[in-house]
Structure 1
Amino acid sequence: MQMLLCPPSPPVDLPDYGELPPYLRRPDASGAIATLEYVAAHSGEKEDIPAKWRLSGSSAVILMAEKMFSGAHASARRDTILFFAWSANFDDLLAIMQRYPVAIDDGARAAWEAQYAEAIRSYRFRALAPSAAAASRGRFKGELKPFQMEGVQFLLSNARGILADDMGLGKTVQALAAAEALDEWPVVVVAQPHVQSHWIGKIPEFLRAEKARSGFLQDAGALTFADLRGMKVDASIPAADIYVVHYLVLHAWTEFLIERGVKVAIFDEVQEFRAKGTRKRAALEALVKASRCAWGLSGTPIYNHGIEMLNVMDGVNPGCLGTRVDFQMRWCDHRDPRVVKEPEAFGAYLSARGLLLRRRKKDVQAQLPSKMRVIEAIDGDNASFAEMIKEAVRLAKEAEFEDAFERGRKEAEALRCARQATGRAKAPAAAAFITSLLEADQPTLVFAHHHLVHDALLATLAKFGPVSITGRESMAEKDYNRRLYMDGETNVCILALRAATGIDGLQHRTQNVVFVEFDWSPAVHAQAEDRAHRMGQQHQVMVYYLKSDLGTDPEMISLLGVKEAQALGILGDSGDSQQDANIARETAEEKKSAILDMLRSMR
């Protein structure tokens, strides 16, 4: 199976940039002193053998090739050499053919011409990328900051690369903007299970897009998207411009997606490529091979993880870092191949090669608001919710037949049970989201209301050494836990929603605030946010509201007035008046009534 790097077709006709640079000119084979042959991919006894080039002839050519190509095998007489036909090797092959006249065997002509054509298209497309990134086709609804525009240009210029910005810098938006500018469909987005809802929410938020449906008229000119969660592989699934699937079931959908003609594959949390020899890896490799573009996204700095990083880069762009042996010799600590000895130098190399682009928040601080609120859609545990909500349903129904006092008591208890069931059902996905922040080494405050939820988070995040300030600790224990967080002994502190008042000093480290559960009062959230967003804060603060479609979340998030993504200026940032507080209380009562009606309608 030949692995070719296939730069994307340009969204508009490529302008004529005149004469090609010297390294891309077609080589002259007059007076050839060597011959190039092509050995197609085939199955070996133990594993598949990738396609290779074979050079035969002058020892000068063979010696030069031996020095240039990772994993090359030359004959003892140095008259023949075999090396991988990776697209990553083509520029070096062309350099040899520019220096020495090399004849191309008839059997190799088609493969060589294909890689040569793609090399030219890649060069011309890189020249076009800045204007292509700026030229929307009218379906992108967002506004990109300058550094995000740079990220879009990077993706458009590099058909197989990784965008590794810090969490919160908008990798999702940049990927969607690049796909819209590229205009090659369908696109498949592969994500972790707990963030599939995030993508399903962001697609219509930033693109003029609607869900693909059979037998319905679609908005002319709008894109369509399909959420493959919970669906069976079936040819009757409506065609879509964007398919969203998660890693755990990708193997079942790979053939379907390839048959649908996928052009672009976007791999969220691309570190899923790090393990070889798995069914998931095989599915990923098949999808990469079939796609013209393979873009990886990751907020985790993985380029110091040695062999894991090789596996990730090799998954997105086969052969771009050479063979495992050469990679270890060049980049890894000889005592431990899992560790890159000079991660900064390696990161600079990846950037210079157009393989990876990484921006830290501190790098683009001037372009960021001091505080940004974002709603992150997460999935809840339906089984857990269904079991725990039963008590809330029972109480809500019984309350209708009680006197005023008993009715009020049971309705309040029903609401408490419904909130707790919602929070507990969200806890696993919330912990997975928080883990991604902590793996990126970002100090984070986590707010939740119920002890049951606190305990679930503490257990799931145990490997990060979390501390808590939840109302169950003594004053001395609270102060001790606060100091552990402030001194950098841990990057995660779990707090009760209403235990944040009066706690100072957390802003000196905190970069993220995460709300796993919500309060009825917007002012409580404003106070919690202020633990991080206050005098002494040197970073942008990202505030994440983790919302599911279960239980009390839909009503409570609308009560809080948090929009999908908003900068500083809402939720009491300018100071709430007494009138605002009265309106908030009235609105809260309306939302509580809506939740009770919802509970009474459940069986």
Structure 2
Amino acid sequence: MRTYGQLSFGQGSWTLSGEPQLIIRAKRIFDRAFKGRVGAIALSDTAENARELEWLMNRYPLEMAEPDRLHLLDRARDYDRRLETVARILAEGYEPPAFELAEPLRHYQRVGADLLLESRSLLLADDVGSGKTMTSFGALTDGRTLPALVVTLTHLPIQWQRQLARFAPALRSYIVKTARPYGFNAKRKEREPLDLAKSIEAGAPFPDVVLMSYSKLAGWADYLKGRFRYVIFDECQELRRPRSRRYAAARGVAADADFRIGLSATPIYNYGAEMFHVLDVLSPGELGTFEEFTREWCGAPGGERVLDPAAFGMYLRERGLMLRRTVKELRLEVPEAEPIPHYVEADLEAIEQVQDRAAELARIILAQGAHGFDKLQATQEFDWRLRMATGIAKAPYVADFVRLLHESGEQKIVLYGWHREVYGIWLERLKDLRPVLYTGSESSVQKDRARQAFVDGDADVLIISLRAGAGLDGLQFASRTLVFGELDWSPGVHEQCIGRLKRDGQTRPVLPYYLLSDHGSDPVLAETLGVKGQQIRGIRDPNTPLVEALSQTGADVRKLAEEFLRQRGLDHRADEAAATAIANQLTLDVA
């Protein structure tokens, strides 16, 4: 039989070489392959690459060693089996097994747990409030998954332990207390650094489930590696930075586990290429190398933005690497949460106090001749100054509105903000409502006490930082009313905030009030969020893009700078020489 080239396997990759027509066709098929090599291409050893190489060989027979051929066929069958498993479990009418928990899982949660156990790795990106934590608990009933490790945000281990006690009371759980390793059976005064392996060999009881924060993972990496069969990465967007110590630790711990799951309704912020790093921890090697991934999905090696996020999302779902379902698709009876814009007064003196400096910064941002570093620095300072001044200007009126809601019968109110100076005003003006704080400044224990006080009735107002409440559960049983006293640039952040109340267990329509001012940063922020027209991005459809902008873009702040100058009757087309002089002075100030 005529052959067109050779295919060989070595050092974890495939090398295909041969006649020009073969290589030309292969380069068309394998977008991810490096195309600069004449007469050959190299591909990583993924199941998908193996399946496509097998398909290519049906048209272009190749010479290859028998061990390599057997390895290729084995990997290709891995690919087929995964697709068949995904199609079977996600098919309409499929009845997943029951999981022996103290409280039964819903059908869709059982589907997710079954898919994880069958495929052994999964990114679960179901909508906020759909019970992703419960889905991960389902796998804990399978003896193959114990002991298990849960890695979550700093303020959430206590909540996870509470949920474990509710759904799986027979499992022994333990929260890691410090960043330095110690024996899990040690008392507080005995927590000296020691080799965990020796502690286990000495007969120390090992918990069924260990809970720890991402911030502690790096310090424990060497001691925990190889100890867990199942790893749960809660809020797994924390894995998006590959050069961090926590990422290296997560990879090491996950690599030796038999089962891995990542939980996040918004797994990626800012750059789609970050998805590779998250999935390379959960499903190592499934997307090939980073160069292959970015060449195929980002248009160039090392690219940062996925060119077609919707297509990439569909690819992940069909491969079973990600399961992503909306509240609507899951048919959860969670009341809708229509945004309620409400305009409040503002103390313009607070904004006027920053007017001169803000105008200087705005001109630098808009100037054509200013240096890139100067613009970046000016953008950050301008955004910070104007948003804080706007928050302070609105704060008394926001507090008055919260009081009005309380007097009208809304006894429990969640109030979102961003700046400590604003919190101080709210705390003083609402002190008779016993407000408590859940922000970035409190410890995990203090945050849990604040949550408990709000749920139990000891506090009527819970002040939460816009970005501090990820993963927080239980508020839906106490409140249906939330107020955005300050705004964030990201619609996704607001959706997460609303999701603290609009989630499984909520029985009443959620009331999200957006308190807006006609002054300061609010007009541009409101327009960016879509609140001005009483619309905001709703529940994401599974077919919509995965990427969510976490921070403001240069265009956002540029628009804010133009609006700020326009409101004051100043020429937004700043004189280039004057703006450059201001920028130079800014550089001198920094130096």
TM-score, length-normalised on structure 1? Answer: 0.51
Using the aligned pairs only, state the percent identity: 25
CA-CA distance at 1:201 after TM superposition = 2.3
2:275 counterpart of 1:309: yes
Q: Offset of 1:173 from its aligned partner?
A: 0.6
Change (3 A) 1:196 1:121: same
Work out the CA distance in 2 between the residues paired with 1:84 and 1:497: 61
Cα distance change, pair 515–360 in 1 and its aligned pair in 2 (3 A): farther
Equivalence for 2:233: 267
**Which one of 90, 99, 102 corresponds to residue 141 of structure 1?**
102
Counterpart check, 1:529 vs 2:479: yes
1:498-577 alignment to 2 at 5 Å? 499=430, 516=451, 518=453, 521=457, 529=479, 531=481, 568=507
In the alignment, structure 1 residue 199 sits paired with structure 2 residue 160: yes
Partner deviation per Cα, 1:400-428 (whole Å, 9 max, x = no partner): xxxxxxxxxxxxxxxxxxxxxxxxxxxxx
Match of 1:115, SS state, is helix
SS in 2 for 1:90: helix
Shift of 1:54: 1.8
Q: Which residue of the partner structure matches residue 121 of structure 2?
A: 160
Structure 1 residues 279 and 476, CA, compared in 2 at 3 Å: closer, same or farther?
Answer: closer
Are residue 245 (structure 1) and residue 203 (structure 2) matched? Answer: no
CA distance in 1, matches of 2:10, 2:214: 33
What is the CA–CA distance in structure 2 between the aligned matches of 1:463 and 1:142, rounded to whole Å?
49
Alpha-carbon separation, structure 1, partners of 2:95 and 2:417: 38
Tell me, yes or no, if structure 1 residue 83 matches structure 2 residue 83: no
SS at match of 1:65: helix
Instruction: Tell me the secondary structure at the aligned position of residue 518 of structure 1.
Output: helix
Q: Quick one: distance in 2 between partners of 1:94 and 1:442? A: 53
| Pair 1:347-2:313 in alignment | yes
Partner of residue 96, structure 1? 56
Preserved CA contact (<8 Å) 1:33 1:102: yes
User: Once the 2 structures are TM-superposed, how far is the Cα of residue 474 of structure 1 from its aligned partner?
Assistant: 4.7
Among 65, 70, 76, which residue is 2:26 paired with? 65
Aligned pairs for 1:169-208 (under 5 A) are 169-180=130-141, 183-208=144-169
Q: Distance in 1 between matches of 2:496 and 2:217?
A: 37
SS of 2:217's partner is helix
Deviation, structure 1 residue 103:
4.4
- Contact 1:442–1:491 (Cα < 8 Å) also in 2: no
**Kindly tell me: are residues 271 and 542 of structure 1, through their superposed partners in 2, closer, same or farther at Cα, counting changes over 3 Å?**
closer
Match of 2:325 among 359, 373, 394: 359
Contact 1:263 1:292 (C-alpha < 8 Å) held by counterparts: yes
Residue aligned with 1:272, SS: helix
Q: CA deviation at 1:296?
A: 1.3
In the TM superposition, what whole-angstrom CA distance separates every residue of 1:208-258 from its partner, at most 9, and x where no partner exists? 5332xxxxxxxxxxxxx4444445241224344433333233234444444
Report the Cα distance in structure 1 between the residues aligned to 2:139 and 2:385, rounded to whole angstroms.
36
Residues 168 and 208 of structure 1: is their aligned pair in 2 closer, same or farther, counting only changes over 3 Å? Answer: same
Q: Aligned residue for 2:112?
A: 151
Match of 1:406 in 2: none
Q: Note the 1:92-491 alignment, pairs <5 A.
A: 92-106=52-66, 108=68, 111-112=71-72, 115-116=75-76, 118-119=78-79, 121-123=81-83, 125-126=85-86, 129=89, 134-136=96-98, 138=100, 140-156=101-117, 158-180=119-141, 183-211=144-172, 225-230=173-178, 231-232=181-182, 233-235=195-197, 236-237=199-200, 238-260=205-227, 262-300=228-266, 302=268, 305-321=271-287, 324=290, 328=294, 331-332=297-298, 338-340=304-306, 342-364=308-330, 366-370=331-335, 474=396, 478-479=400-401
Q: CA 1:77–1:100 in 2, change beyond 3 Å: closer, same or farther?
A: same
Q: Which residue of 2 aligns with 1:413?
A: none
Q: Secondary structure at the match of 1:250?
A: helix
Greater displacement, 166-175 / 312-321: 312-321
CA deviations on 1:407-459 (whole Å, 9 max, x unpaired) are xxxxxxxxxxxxxxxxxxxxxxxxxxxxxxxxxx9999xxxxxxxxxxxxxxx
Shift of 1:170: 1.0
CA deviation digits over 1:551-593, x for unaligned, max 9?
xxxxxxxxxxxxxx95549xxxxxxxxxxxxxxxxxxxxxxxx
Deviation at 1:158, TM superposition (A): 4.2
CA contact (8 A) 2:85 2:119 kept: no
Task: Name the counterpart of 2:7.
Answer: 36
Q: Residues 479-524 of structure 1, C-alpha deviation per residue, up to 9 Å, x if partnerless?
A: 59999xxxxxx9649766995999xxxxxxxxxxx96472685795
Query: How far, CA to CA, are the matches of 1:491 and 1:309 in structure 2?
Result: 29
Distance 1:363 1:247 in 2: 31
- Rounded Cα–Cα distance in structure 2 between residues aligned with 1:241 and 1:464: 50
Distance in 2 (CA, whole Å) between partners of 1:106 and 1:85 is 17
Shift of 1:171: 0.9
CA distance in structure 1 between the aligned counterparts of 2:274 and 2:398, rounded to whole angstroms: 43
Q: Does the Cα contact within 8 Å between 1:264 and 1:294 map onto a contact in 2?
A: yes
SS, match of residue 36 in structure 1: strand
- Aligned-partner SS, 2:260: strand
One-letter amino acid of the structure 1 residue matched with residue 23 of structure 2: I
Please say if residues 161 and 296 of structure 1, whose CA atoms lie closer than 8 Å, have aligned partners that are also in contact.
yes
Residue 275 of structure 1, CA deviation: 1.1
Q: Is the 8 A contact 2:226 2:257 kept in 1?
A: no
Structure 1 counterpart of 2:576: none
How many Å apart are 1:172 and its aligned residue? 0.8
Q: Which runs of 5+ in 1 are unaligned?
A: 1-29, 41-50, 212-224, 373-440, 445-461, 484-489, 503-513, 545-564, 570-603
How far off its partner does 1:164 sit?
Answer: 1.4
For 2:158, give the aligned amino acid. Answer: S
Distance 1:326 1:203, change over 3 A: same
Q: CA offset at residue 268 of structure 1?
A: 1.2
Query: 1:317 Cα deviation (Å)?
Result: 3.1
Q: What is the identity, as a one-letter code, of the residue corresponding to 1:529?
A: S
> In the TM superposition, what are the counterparts of 1:10-49 in structure 2 within 5 Å?
33-40=4-11
Q: Secondary structure at the match of 1:210?
A: coil
Moved more, 179-188 or 167-176: 179-188
Structure 2 stretches lacking a partner, 5+ long = 183-194, 342-383, 406-414, 434-448, 462-475, 484-494, 509-591
Residues 543, 255 of structure 1: CA spacing in aligned structure 2 closer, same or farther, 3 A cutoff? closer
Once residues 173 and 152 of structure 1 are traced to their aligned partners in structure 2, the CA distance between those partners, rounded to angstroms, is 9
Residue 71 of structure 1 and its aligned partner are, at CA, apart by: 4.5
Higher relative contact order (Cα pairs below 8 Å, separated by 6+ residues): 2
CA offset at residue 189 of structure 1?
A: 2.1
State the partner residue of 1:555: none
User: Counterpart of 2:45 in structure 1: which amino acid?
Assistant: A
